[in-house]
Amino acid sequence: MTEIKMVMENHGMSVDYRHMMLLAAQMTHTVRENSRSSFDAAYHGQTDKINGVSENIIMGMPAPIGTGIFKLLHKPLDVEEKPAKMPLLFETEVDT
């Protein structure tokens, strides 16, 4: 945790200590499994899709959970196709 805090502070970032505790616990829990598989993956030229919560936090990307799970898709309008004009609220006549 001391090293994580030092790295974050040197980069001008402040991180809640609970997040650092979670990250440190996760890193030390799987360090034996990950260290061996990381070397094997590097040797075989494999890539990591970075789809876990911890990986996304480290990379500064939205995590694929909650509101971060959605991808926005839209159909681009043709140049000649224009959306229908809708009157603004204050432009509509009010019956009195």
Mean pLDDT of all residues in 74-90: 71
- Res 48: pLDDT: 73
pLDDT at 32: 56
Owner of token pair 């959306």: 83
Residue type, 48: D
Distance CA 55, CA 87 (A): 47
Query: Cβ–Cβ contacts within 10 Å for residue 23, how many?
Result: 16
Domain boundaries, the chain: 2-91
Report how far residue 17's alpha carbon sits from residue 11's, in angstroms, rounded to the nearest whole number.
16
The pLDDT of residue 63:
78
Residue 79 has pLDDT above 70, yes or no: no
The per-residue pLDDT for range 13-45, each reduced to its tens digit, is 888 889 888 888 877 775 555 556 667 777 788
Confirm if 83 and 77 have CB atoms less than 8 A apart. yes
Quickly tell me which residue has 């990379």 as its tokens: 59
